[in-house]
Structure 1
Amino acid sequence: MLNEFQSTDHLVDYFNNWVSVYKEGAIRDVTLSKYKMSLKWVEKLAPDLKLCDVSRIAYQQIINEYAREHERQTTMDFHHQLKGAVLDAVDEGLIPRDPTRKVIIKGKTPSKKKIKYLNQFELHTLLKGLDLGDQVSWDWFILLIAKTGMRFSEALAITPADFDFAHQTVSVNKTWNYKDGGGFSPTKNKSSVRKIQIDWQVVMQFATLVKDLPQDRPIFVPNEKVYNSTVNDILESHCNKLNIPVISVHGLRHTHASILLFAGVSLPSVARRLGHASMTTTQKTYLHIIQELENQDVDLVMRSLSNLM
């Protein structure tokens, strides 16, 4: 138990125990793996640091060393994970006072980011270039994500039974655990459980595609193991052939959201469609688009006011 620790015990041991007690079984495996990676960095950067010696300077030095090899946002994520354990140690009286107060977050200069999304013309070009035959293929998978904005694992878990063609919806209520051998898993969060409205064209296409498939089996999961890179390679090949920017499968999700925002769909509606737990997530992810739309709004306001004279 955490209360069995002494102030002379090592920070890394406390952090390891804290992750085990508070995080294992409470968060998704992918998030837990990030905590485990943070633990490895604490082992590397401060293997002998005792809890009683975790001062503001000592904590800042850990953050600074981590920031030498990581960008600022990654450093911020590491700080938040370690801070959770440190503040609990403060509450337990193992660390004299809060060493995370006024911490300065540094980081490497961000590398040039890959293009995250396509514009409407580029997406139209991509979808026209897909080979949508009579059989299930990864091209159909690409179409589904582009039209719904699902996450990769959500789209993998879609079964024929998830479609309600009469009401033009597809239900997202599970994911496919493709990283650990397959099988259905819970969604990322409660907000990820949702019904996504689909257009009549998708209804007609998928009604035909899945009519003879088992109702409770994932449409896109073959007999062999599924790799994210497989679909990304296929998508990259399409992009190169069609002379449009190369994006990832996750970039299709960004494309879906950006097109909706530019079309005037409200931020809350986009957040619900994407399954974000908070609208703040949507705002942060698509801040550049929102700012561009706000600039357009200013122009519209000025034109409207000038017409009042």
Structure 2
Amino acid sequence: MASIVKRGKNYHVRVSWRDKSGVLKQKSKGGFKTKNEARQYAVELEQQLFTGVNIKQKKIPFSEYFANWYEVYKQPTSKHSTQQRYEVAIRQINEYFQDIAIQDITRHDYQVFLNQYGTNRSKNTVRIMHSMIKACVSSAMYDEIIRKNFTENIQLVFDPARTRKIDYLSLDELKRLTDLCLNGRQKRYTSRYMILTAIMTGMRIGEIMALTWDDIDYQRQTITVNKTWDYQSGGGFKATKNDSSNRTVNVTQQLLDWLAELKENNSNMVFENARGQIPTSAAANNTLRTLLKQAEIKKPSFHFHSLRHTHVAYLLSKGIDIFVISKRLGHSNLSTTTDTYAYLIHEYQQTQISEIKKNLALLAE
């Protein structure tokens, strides 16, 4: 309930209400030059109360709220690489929004921020920034600090030139790369074996580095993924990317036979070489680039993770169901797979459309 009284030349507003516990609360403000201005302010407060906003909440700089939200809800469970992304976000928010309160930011303000941020950044970089901010703003709504989510219904703006399309190998190129890996492999040097494993399983490089011999079941022809290698922070085991990344991958006897050759290195780590080291990401990529050059495959942006995309491309080309592929990759849900590999799915969808037409035409013969 709002009351408006005139005090001297100005108008004073007092809004009263009871909280969830029945306790009487009041908020007042004076200095309005006209009664209409005072009434408009009262209506706005009552509207906020109706929608559940805590109008007694002091205004909080967005930069301050984001940093606190990160420290409390995200930092304790985030990996080092994820923490680095959040630290970048904190710097960007501090620089752009400065002392602007989270309660004062509009959808327009946020879109302008994204427009500026995305001018010289890739689509994936902008998407990651947006997802972090969106999660924070959703938390602010849950805390009844704001009543509207200003990150909804916006457009991601990015630099197409920096948005790299991930290369994958054709069937012929994949066969040439596989043959080179096999023909030149030596037990003392394990990078080629890592590349073969990526080709045959679609596993991430950290998952491959972390493999121990008890992860490999020769009877059931499977590899169990239950940890990853922290190659970005000097090595050592760490948890997988998420719970769904813990999985069992069915493999061929051929791959198992190739890996068995590495037992002569006398290490519990599958890919530890004769010098007692697991090849670094840089070393594995150097070997991959050398092999691509020998195979006369010109794909400058192709790197180790591209082998995962190549694995998906190969399975799709053979008609393997996308749901089965998603589980094999360790994605938490099907949409992750379809979003990540949308460009591949579209390509093979065109092939399937031709097959549909061909088979339907048979009905009329």
Q: TM-score scaled by structure 1?
A: 0.89
Deviations 1:6-28, CA, capped at 9 Å, x for gaps:
63332111100101111012233
> 1:142, CA displacement in angstroms?
1.1
Q: Is the 8 Å Cα contact of residues 225 and 246 (structure 2) preserved in structure 1?
A: yes
Q: Which residue of 1 aligns with 2:290?
A: 237
CA distance in 2, matches of 1:68, 1:7: 34
Could you tell me how far apart the structure 1 residues matched to 2:201 and 2:346 are? 24
Query: What is the distance in 1 between the residues matched to 2:328 and 2:82?
Result: 22
**Using the alignment, how far apart are the partners of 2:139 and 2:260 within structure 1?**
53
* Greater RCO (CA < 8 Å, at least 6 residues apart): 1
| 1:81 paired residue number | 132
Q: Give the structure-2-normalised TM-score.
A: 0.76
Q: Which one of the candidate residues 194, 206, 219 is aligned to 2:271?
A: 219
Counterpart mapping for 1:9-48 below 5 A = 9-48=60-99
Partner SS, residue 95 of structure 1: coil
Q: Structure 1 residues 166, 96: CA separation in 2 closer, same or farther (over 3 Å shift)?
A: closer
Match of 2:237 among 180, 184, 187: 184
The more displaced of 256-265 and 278-287 is: 278-287
Compute the RMSD of aligned alpha carbons.
Answer: 2.4
After superposing the two structures, state which structure 1 stretch, 169-178 or 135-144, moved more: 135-144
Aligned equivalent of 2:253: 200
List per-residue Cα deviations over 1:252-306 (Å, max 9, x = no partner). Answer: 1111111011111111111111111111111122222222222222222222222
Name the structure where strand makes up a greater proportion of residues.
2
Equivalents in 2 of 1:226, 1:25: separation in Å?
30
Residue 175 of structure 1 deviates from its aligned partner by: 0.3
Shift, 1:53, TM fit: 2.3
2:123–2:163 CA contact under 8 A, matched in 1: no
CA distance in 2, matches of 1:107, 1:134: 45
What corresponds to 1:137 in structure 2? 190
Q: State the match for 1:253 in structure 2.
A: 308
Matching residue within 301, 321, 335 for 1:280 = 335
Corresponding position of 1:59: 110
Once the two structures are overlaid, the 10-residue window that deviates more, 75-84 or 250-259, is 75-84
- The DSSP-based 3-state class of the residue aligned with 1:307 is helix
Contact 1:7–1:95, Cα closer than 8 Å, also in 2: no
Cα drift, residue 167 of structure 1: 1.7
Shift in alpha-carbon separation, 1:301–1:95, aligned structure 2, 3 A: closer
Q: 1:229 to 1:48 in 2, by over 3 A?
A: same
Deviation at 1:129, TM superposition (A): 1.2
Q: 1:260 to 1:112 in 2, by over 3 A?
A: same
* Distance in 1 (alpha carbons) for counterparts of 2:106 and 2:120: 23
Report the CA distance between 1:188 and its aligned residue: 0.9
Counterpart Cα distance in 1 of 2:221 and 2:73: 41
Q: Deviations over 1:206-232 (max 9, x none)?
A: 2232256233x3533765685322211
C-alpha separation in 2, matches of 1:27 and 1:94: 25
Q: Kindly provide the amino acid, as one letter, of the partner of residue 108 in structure 1.
A: D
Query: Does 2:163 align with 1:108?
Result: no
Q: CA deviation at 1:115?
A: 4.7
Could you tell me how far 1:235 is from its partner in structure 2? 0.7
* C-alpha displacement of 1:73: 4.1
2:202 is the counterpart of 1:149: yes
Q: Which moved more, 1:162-171 or 1:247-256?
A: 162-171
Q: Which is worse superposed, 252-261 or 48-57? A: 48-57
Amino acid corresponding to residue 238 of structure 2 in structure 1: S
What is the alpha-carbon distance in structure 1 between the residues aligned to residue 74 and residue 64 of structure 2? 15
- Given the superposition, is the C-alpha separation of residues 146 and 225 from structure 1 closer, same or farther in structure 2, using an over 3 Å criterion? closer
- 1:72 and 1:250 mapped to 2: Cα distance? 18
Give 1:33 shift: 2.1
Larger Rg: 2
Segments of 5+ residues of structure 2 without an aligned counterpart are: 1-53
Instruction: Give structure 1 stretches of 5+ with no counterpart.
Output: none
Give me the whole-angstrom Cα distance separating, in 2, the residues matched to 1:46 and 1:226: 43
Listed one character per residue, the Cα deviations across residues 68-100 of structure 1 (whole Å, up to 9, x for unaligned) are 232344323312211222232234343354333
Distance, in Å, in 1 between the alignment partners of 2:209 and 2:72 is 31
Q: Report the equivalent of 1:158.
A: 211
> Which position in structure 1 is the counterpart of 2:317?
262
Q: Is the deviation greater in 116-125 or in 133-142?
A: 133-142
CA–CA distance in 1 between the matches of 2:180 and 2:303? Answer: 16
